[in-house]
Structure 1
Amino acid sequence: MASKATVVFGGPSAEHDISILTGLQAERVLAGAGHTVQCIYWARTDQWFLVPSNTEARDYLGGPPAGAKRVELRIGAEKGDGFYMKAGLGGAKPLETGTIMNCFHGGAGEGGGAQGLFALAGLKATGGTVAAAALGMDKLAFGAVMETAGVPCLKRVLLSADAPPPYDGPYIVKPRFGGSSIGIEVVEDHATAVALLQTSPHLREGAVVEPNRPDLFDLNISVRTAPTVEVSEIERPLRPTDGAIYSYAAKYLHSEGLASAPREFPADISDAVRDRIKELAVRVVELTGLTGVLRIDFLSDGTEVFVNEVNSIPGAMALYLWPQTPPGEVLGSALAEAERARPRATSNFEEGVALQAAGGIAGKLAALPQQPR
């Protein structure tokens, strides 16, 4: 069913530019499917802009495109919630958004920050809940959840100067919070890995280490959670002939986008590996609670299969992995899912009981250690 939708993109992230490309593509797809679509751009300056329809990537090279109008996101009953535009005589009027199509990649936009803002403002948005989005973005936490649940994955640990990994190098070093292969390095030893914490701008918020396995190759799959959980066909991204990691440039720096990146699609793998990946993809969705359109990345040697990471808002919304499904249907189903109410935390448990039983705060303070005078 066609509806009103607002596509949001940009954001404070190293993947800012790719987010713009994903957002502009989503705008065209949704408009082509009959939705009424508008776009809001989160600029590098942290300002929000309502931008004209059908802008191009080059229009954002210098910041917001020509014709962009400042909007602000308000939270709080006194002002009214949601996006507002300036109106005459210093006033402001609310902007009707419909459902938000979240096309942010990385950073606060994908990792729970934007989801929290939209939830507080009462806006329905794709991109999962705050908790699910944060788990998907945190490689250390995600790996720990997979390992605890018995999902096969490479042993991933925090990169720390005081605690060498429990296995010998070489290592792959990755930003703990990030994606798209930005900032990933292969190093021979722990000392070199630790040095990267000071020299790499992508690792300063933390990094993880896992064993480098040159015998493993990449396999990717997409999962839709609406109208029912469904998995796509599997692709095998093709690495450079020198065996280097699947890089940011290999993924995105093509004029025709991810669909033209070097790959084997469908992947030439055994039925056993294909079935195992599809089984594990559904398990990852169950464990994380993520919703919408996801991409899950795996590693395999042709026999063993390991979960690598999940992309809760994948580049190009992973539409290229659904060649037999109209793209408007893929995104439209995600919007419809976001429109439905999600479970919320209980807010009225024994309301007032703890306050009535508390007595005076002075009595509680008296039980604490006293500040030296």
Structure 2
Amino acid sequence: MKLKVAVLFGGKSTEHEISIISAIQAIGYINTDKYEVIPVYISKNYDYYVGEDVGKIEEYTHIPELLKKSTRVIWVKDGDKVSLVRYPMKKFGNNVITTVDVAFPIVHGTNVEDGTLQGFLTTLGLPVVGCDVLSSAVGMNKYVMKTVLKDNNIPVLDCKCYTWKDYEDVDGLVAKIEAAFTYPVIVKPLNLGSSIGIKKASNKEELLEALDLGFEFSRKILVERAISQLKEINCSVLGDYESAEASECEEPVNSDDILSFEDKYIGGAKGGAKGAKTGGSKGMASLKRKIPADISSEMRDRIRKMAVDAFICLGCSGVSRIDFMIDMATNEVYLNEINTIPGSLSFYLWEPLGMKYEHLLDNMIQLALKADRENHKVVYSFDTNVLEGVHLGGGSKGSKM
């Protein structure tokens, strides 16, 4: 019998639309001889929808119309069974739309990729494809990620974290930043991807603009020095805490100093992606890039090893993409950030090594099933008589028993 795999996408995120592209692209490649695929769209209000048209990319040009002809559902756990149930329920007849064996979130950004959705799915007892709650949360929080990596001798740029509270005294904040760094600097939201809200500042005026932009998208921002002679290199990793392997390296071709949202998702939309089955924008697969990257074999080996080390260090699972920066003036390499659910799942980085997208997706699902089997071996609760005879104090201040 086929495993029922629910592919979840959308959500309340600035990368909502990119998630739709990544997920429907992947849905077209999952092996339907082995798995029954259930597309599950998450609206920006956190409502879940299924239906015949939910997995069709052309339907998302008019989302309100799509939702009218789709079925809103809720998740219901009944013993070991997890079902998608019609909501509101009909008074008569069966309200169970389908059961689900595995959850496959293909979501990007805050409120979904950051462990929030992974935690919800975990409480249902479902195997979840990709990173768990902790690695998802750490991967999304750039400051925490850098701290963990730095503590494990993986090179990252020094940075400072600032909050809305700091922003209330913007002149004081600028003074702090100028005391900590020399221009140019990079200002970025703490927990966003797709280059949203990121800006380079070469003077005070530009810094003020960068702070305004960063704080528009996040309550916390990160500031670090900008590398003047920069080469960006990306590498994907597949595996889990026990074993992981690196993909081919790519060198994105950007139109400015910083790879922008437009560079990633709009500028190359007409070009298409090798092997893609859907029309229009192909997500990250449409980005202009050099594969393999224009780097020496020694640098390639160095980056691929660093990528695997970081992936295992952060406790990741499934597929992640790790972005690096090379300072061409010093030849030093720094890990910039990790994308725990990368755009297009970075399938285009595995094809040069002979791994087809179908096999990449199958590996990710099998890793989730492996983790689920291991979790069932762990003791999470046990019978105890600790509640027997307990009498809570009737108003005695500070009484715990």
* Same-fold status (TM-score > 0.5): yes
**Contact 2:321 2:342 (C-alpha < 8 Å) held by counterparts:** yes
Check if 1:229 corresponds to 2:244.
yes
* Equivalent residue number for residue 258 of structure 2: 245
Change (3 A) 1:332 1:193: same
Aligned-residue sequence identity (percent) comes to 28
Q: Report the alpha carbon displacement of residue 122 of structure 1 after superposing the two structures with TM.
A: 1.6
Q: Report the alpha carbon displacement of residue 111 of structure 1 after superposing the two structures with TM.
A: 0.3
Match of 2:299 among 264, 267, 273: 273
Check if 1:287 corresponds to 2:287.
no
**Contact 1:238 1:264 (C-alpha < 8 Å) held by counterparts:** yes
**CA distance, structure 2, for counterparts of residue 199 and residue 285 of structure 1:** 30
Change (3 A) 1:20 1:198: same
Check if 1:333 corresponds to 2:353.
no
Q: List per-residue Cα deviations over 1:189-209 (Å, max 9, x = no partner).
A: 567546655555643321101
Secondary structure of 2:112 counterpart: helix
Q: Report the alpha carbon displacement of residue 147 of structure 1 after superposing the two structures with TM.
A: 1.4
* Equivalent residue number for residue 348 of structure 2: 320
AA of the residue aligned to 1:62: H
* Equivalent residue number for residue 370 of structure 1: none
**Contact 1:146 1:152 (C-alpha < 8 Å) held by counterparts:** yes
Q: Report the alpha carbon displacement of residue 279 of structure 1 after superposing the two structures with TM.
A: 1.2
Change (3 A) 1:232 1:84: same
* Equivalent residue number for residue 298 of structure 1: 324
TM-score by length of 1: 0.87
Check if 1:183 corresponds to 2:197.
yes
**CA distance, structure 2, for counterparts of residue 102 and residue 24 of structure 1:** 12
Check if 1:50 corresponds to 2:76.
no
Check if 1:310 corresponds to 2:313.
no
AA of the residue aligned to 1:113: T
Q: List per-residue Cα deviations over 1:226-275 (Å, max 9, x = no partner).
A: 694111010000122xx421111111111322333211110121122111
Q: List per-residue Cα deviations over 1:51-109 (Å, max 9, x = no partner).
A: 325844331123252632111134687xx855312554266326312211110101121
Check if 1:84 corresponds to 2:117.
no
Match of 1:128 among 114, 128, 131: 131
Q: Report the alpha carbon displacement of residue 297 of structure 1 after superposing the two structures with TM.
A: 0.4
AA of the residue aligned to 1:247: S
* Pairs within 5 Å for 1:1-373: 3-31=3-31, 34-52=34-52, 55-63=55-63, 65=66, 67-74=69-76, 82-86=83-87, 88-89=90-91, 92-93=95-96, 95-159=98-162, 161=166, 164-165=176-177, 166-189=180-203, 193=207, 196-198=210-212, 200=214, 202-225=216-239, 228-240=243-255, 243-253=256-266, 254-255=269-270, 256=272, 257=282, 258-302=284-328, 303-323=331-351, 324-340=354-370, 341=372, 342-343=374-375, 347-348=380-381, 351=384, 360=393, 365=398
AA of the residue aligned to 2:337: E
Alignment root-mean-square deviation, CA: 3.0
**Contact 2:285 2:344 (C-alpha < 8 Å) held by counterparts:** no
**CA distance, structure 1, for counterparts of residue 386 and residue 115 of structure 2:** 32
Which sections of structure 2, spanning at least 5 residues, go unmatched? Answer: 167-171, 273-281
Change (3 A) 1:353 1:330: same
Change (3 A) 1:29 1:196: same
* Equivalent residue number for residue 371 of structure 1: none
Q: Report the alpha carbon displacement of residue 331 of structure 1 after superposing the two structures with TM.
A: 0.6
**Contact 1:32 1:328 (C-alpha < 8 Å) held by counterparts:** no
**Contact 1:197 1:206 (C-alpha < 8 Å) held by counterparts:** no
**CA distance, structure 2, for counterparts of residue 346 and residue 364 of structure 1:** 35
- Paired residues, number: 363
**Contact 2:187 2:211 (C-alpha < 8 Å) held by counterparts:** no
**Contact 1:176 1:203 (C-alpha < 8 Å) held by counterparts:** no
**CA distance, structure 1, for counterparts of residue 196 and residue 47 of structure 2:** 24
Secondary structure of 1:30 counterpart: coil
**Contact 1:319 1:327 (C-alpha < 8 Å) held by counterparts:** yes
Change (3 A) 1:205 1:57: farther
**CA distance, structure 2, for counterparts of residue 140 and residue 151 of structure 1:** 14
**CA distance, structure 2, for counterparts of residue 98 and residue 292 of structure 1:** 17
Change (3 A) 1:356 1:238: farther
**CA distance, structure 2, for counterparts of residue 336 and residue 122 of structure 1:** 16
